[in-house]
Structure 1
Amino acid sequence: MDFLAGPLVQHLKSGYVPLVLAAPLLVVLLYCTIPHFTTRAGLRKYKGPAAAGFTRWWIASQVRKGHRSEVVHEQHKRFGKFVRIAPNEVSINDPAALPIVYAHGSGSIKADFYDAFVASKVRGLFNTRDRAEHTRKRKIVSHTFAPKSVREFEPYINSTVRGLLRKWDDLCDKAAKAQTSSKYGERLKGYAVVETLDWYNALAFDIIGDLAFGAPFDMVERDGADTVAITREDGTVFYAGGVQILNERGEYSATLGCLPPWIRPYMKYVDPWYARGLKSVNNLTGIARTRVNERLEKGAGDRKDILSHLQNGKDANGNAMGVPELTMEALTQLIAGSDTTSNSSCAIMYYIVSNPHAYKKLREELDATFAPRGMSGVFEYEDVKSLPYLTACINEALRLHSTSGMGLPRIMQQDTEVCGEVFPAGTVLSVPSYSIHRIKSVWGDDADEYRPERWLVSEEKARELEKALNIFSYGPRSCVGRNVAMMELFCFISTLNYRYDFVLAEPDKGMPTVEGFLRKPTGVLMGLKKREPTYF
């Protein structure tokens, strides 16, 4: 308590704090300290940063700095399985907690963290906290991602990927003809050097644009240009960077969600950073509004995409979604289907290319499977989904990078026992994916290393590891679009590694990341050239 009371007492004694300010400061002090010693006294047994036991500002500040998952992980390494990261929240670093905290029978509900992701009066599947309403929405949306529907999406996905291949082929041809020395050294002579994250962002945005709104954003066609149309509530249209807006929205909402609900409306007046984030939230809604309006005006035709399925979906009472709800669900798919896929693609390719052994073995598997057939273009999911080393490479990269690395908070509606500890009703619990993906007792002493072979020891071992791999969350609130995401990754990663030679342009730089709601690479420069001999 000294870290809170000390400065206040000193200022009061020195006369630097006017009486008119002393009273509010005292109220804040009491607001933070009284629950710590009364209603939440039972949580004092769980260690963590001193400030976290008194105020939610500690965890909010870690999100604002962009490295929440890494910081919480360091706390777990210091204090063990249970870490108190907020006055009423305990982080649990154990995969055994997943089915208790997140599964159907737990009775848990999403915490008020999710309210910060609401862009209008209408909520989407992701930020709906009411269990009954979530069940209604999921019934409509889940049909959209049934196996039959997902298979219908593949031609749209492959069409966009082919556009990227054409662009990259052109870049490779120009680099091969020029044969000039690269500023990155002779080893990249003849390679086209590209910022891969920009292209993966463009690819993912275009794919989800095609699936969720009926047409791509044409970012790939414009060489990765990050510009989209945005419709304001008054109907006027302007243009801005869609990826930038998405990033700012994630950072803003994830930070705001960690603050007490009563203070959130005022943060835009206190700090311009929050005002900019709120603007990005509204702009992101404007992107969805633009595309949904265009689609409704033109009609779906014979398309079998996400939006057509959402339009045709019905809840248990036979009711379809209205336009506002349809727009919010399309927005949910835009966010979930672009941000996660682009970041994951970048991380997977980085880990593969930066590990010569894994890179060589993956290429050998792809060549042995497809070179005899003379395969060309984009691989179909049915042909690559069962390739063991490809699967191991993807799973291992998703584990190590942990795109969704933070622990998603759930309020326990009843006294709940988790991993031998009983938490009273009302406690917020979370299980951090970034941390459980690094538990040495589960993954081995080399848990911090990229080693796809850990997935290939035996089928029994692979099933054991899968239980601890929390890529898409767990239970009824898990990612409904996981099948589409994995289809994209399998087809994309296999096609790129079969078609091109890759080399890191800045091998000593590594893959820096920043975290808003998701953990994202900040960029990975790679050299690429078409493979020799030409298999395609």
Structure 2
Amino acid sequence: MVMDMEGETNSSNCFFGVLLVLVVLGLGLGLGLGLRKVVSSLWVRPRRVEKELREQGFRGNPYRLFFGDFKDMKRMREAATSKAMASLSNDIVPRVIPDIQCAVNKYGKNCFLWFGSTAAVIILEPEAIKEILLKYYTFEKPPRNPMVRVLTRGVATYEGDKWAKHRKLINPAFHSEKLKHMVPSFHSSCADMLSIWEKIVPDKGSCEVDVWPYLQTMAGDAISRTAFGSSFEEGRRVFELQKVQAVRVMEALRSVYIPGMRFFPTKSNRRMKEIVKEVESTLLRIINKRIHAMEVGESCGEDLLGLLLDSNFREIEQHGHKYGMSLKDVIEECKLFYFAGHETTASLLVWTMILLSKHTMWQSRAREEVRQVFGGRKPDYQELNLLKLITMIFHEVLRLYPSVATLSRITHQESRVGNLKIPSGVQLLMPALLLHHDKEIWGDDAQEFNPERFNKGVSKATQGQAIYLPFGGGPRICIGQNFAMLEAKMAMAMILQRYTFELSPSYSHAPHQVITLQPQHGAHLILHKIYD
């Protein structure tokens, strides 16, 4: 990320030479005003922001025209993920967020990066993080790369009044009383996965299985069932398409967005548009079928779509159309169900299985808890809430391997965080992964797997500080966190009832981000059937 001052000076001289030519041409063509805006956004404003940040003690690389630190960040991330980790260590920060770690190591905790022409301040103080997350109207989520919007929008990306409206309408679908009706769907999806494993693993013996794709499919199947009920077969196609789209979106996130680039008829852009069209047409067909059924007096159903439509219709009846969602809004929320609903659960389950394969004592304790609570019976909603040890294990897994490594917000006007004055247009990066692995916070064993940290719950473990952020925090905390934890408990209980598992010699430890934190080379485990 380092660039010497001579290189910076040469870059500046080159820029001003080109700028002079552009100004002359622009004035001659009557484009002076537009050109001045470009110059301001690409040079004048970034340099002013940099000056203000440095005056407050922040440090970082000098601003570099247009790309900022993007080239260095891309190089670091490519180098970090070019090969698997040499050991099964949980020290994954250098691999997952090498750019942020490099900045902190070089400049200290008060530092910043350049996302193109936008300064991104790294925030590591728990009190500052708590303030930022609580003041969600002041510190909003940064504008998304337009290429990302093809994957999902929905309540997770909206701001202000629109966010408040959607959150209000969606909340009823994730109430605990509604979630218990989804437990049978979780069971069916996991049973389908285990029936496949039953055929793969011999009756007497063991077998190596890459469990990652199966867990992804299971989680996608579960969200298909819980979101669309009887239409889940159609929903499966949406899941497959969204999975392909997520890979393309991640590629877009790792490069500078050039305005208008998404309209170029490239092969990738054409494919992304085709996926959007098929996803939205499939969802529209499912939604219209449900609306028609409701109009003729049928029940709205206990799935997420039915609960959302019922909540929306009630709001429109009571307060008018402007207080409800449009059909397009409902489609976007359904797309979000897929993205958030399966990615987080699959990520949690795969890292849990990997860590329990390494720490077999905890695997045995978890299996014993399942036997005591369920025996060999089908788990039910009330009993799932009795799995205290497995809950502790999940919290520790999410600490070491959070689904999302970094949270971000942005200022739209000059704002204060504690004693800091943050200029308008600055991103605020809150690296959850760094906080979760910080020895000053969690002790010398911060990188060790120790679920006992959470034996008295999250609040006791964190002492009320904003240092544990697997689902975000503040009013915008993930609405589906209880959904994800409930599904994961069902799946883990059923797996532990039927199998013991250990790491295969072919397992390569390689966490990387594709929207969520995933095993780059799969999760190759050796499964052994259990016979009572």
Q: Which residue of 1 aligns with 2:203?
A: 176
Mapped to 1, the partners of 2:364 and 2:64 lie a distance apart of 46
Which of 47, 61, 65 is the aligned partner of 2:59?
47
- Which segments of 5 or more consecutive residues in structure 1 lack a partner in the other structure? 14-18, 178-189, 220-226, 231-239
Check conservation: 1:416, 1:425, Cα contact below 8 A. Answer: no
Correspondence list, 1:91-490, <5 A: 91-104=122-135, 107-113=138-144, 116-119=147-150, 124-129=154-159, 131-172=160-201, 175-176=202-203, 190-215=205-230, 229=237, 241-242=240-241, 244-252=243-251, 254-255=253-254, 259=256, 263-266=258-261, 269=264, 280=275, 284-286=279-281, 288-289=283-284, 291-293=286-288, 295-296=290-291, 301=299, 303-314=301-312, 315=315, 317-319=319-321, 320-367=324-371, 369-370=372-373, 374-377=375-378, 379-411=379-411, 413-418=413-418, 420-456=419-455, 461-464=460-463, 467-490=466-489
Q: Which residue of 1 aligns with 2:92?
A: none
**Per-residue CA distance 1:192-216 (angstroms, 9 max, x = gap):** 3222111111111111111222247
Asked if 1:513 is matched to 2:511, the reply is yes
- Output the TM-score relative to the length of structure 1: 0.78
Letter in 2 for 1:146: H
Q: 1:446 to 1:417 in 2, by over 3 A?
A: same
Mapped to 2, the partners of 1:83 and 1:281 lie a distance apart of 38
- Fraction of identical pairs, as percent: 20
Mapped to 2, the partners of 1:39 and 1:270 lie a distance apart of 36
**Per-residue CA distance 1:302-357 (angstroms, 9 max, x = gap):** 63110001111134725443322211111111111012211221111111112223
Report how far residue 428 of structure 1 moved: 2.4
**Per-residue CA distance 1:231-269 (angstroms, 9 max, x = gap):** xxxxxxxxx94364143244145346xx46xx2422664
Report how far residue 388 of structure 1 moved: 3.0
Report how far residue 101 of structure 1 moved: 1.1
- Which segments of 5 or more consecutive residues in structure 2 lack a partner in the other structure? 27-34, 82-94
Q: 1:338 to 1:197 in 2, by over 3 A?
A: same
SS at the partner of 1:410? strand
Report how far residue 96 of structure 1 moved: 2.6
Check conservation: 2:437, 2:447, Cα contact below 8 A. Answer: yes
Check conservation: 1:249, 1:281, Cα contact below 8 A. Answer: no
Q: What's the C-alpha RMSD, in Å, of the aligned pairs?
A: 3.8
Check conservation: 1:255, 1:516, Cα contact below 8 A. Answer: no
- Output the TM-score relative to the length of structure 2: 0.79
Q: 1:357 to 1:58 in 2, by over 3 A?
A: same
Aligned residues: 486
Mapped to 2, the partners of 1:205 and 1:48 lie a distance apart of 41
Mapped to 1, the partners of 2:144 and 2:420 lie a distance apart of 24
430-439 or 71-80: bigger deviation: 71-80
Mapped to 2, the partners of 1:411 and 1:11 lie a distance apart of 28
Mapped to 2, the partners of 1:274 and 1:514 lie a distance apart of 24
**Per-residue CA distance 1:40-86 (angstroms, 9 max, x = gap):** 42123422344579745618747985766343134224333233122
Letter in 2 for 1:361: R
Check conservation: 1:110, 1:409, Cα contact below 8 A. Answer: yes
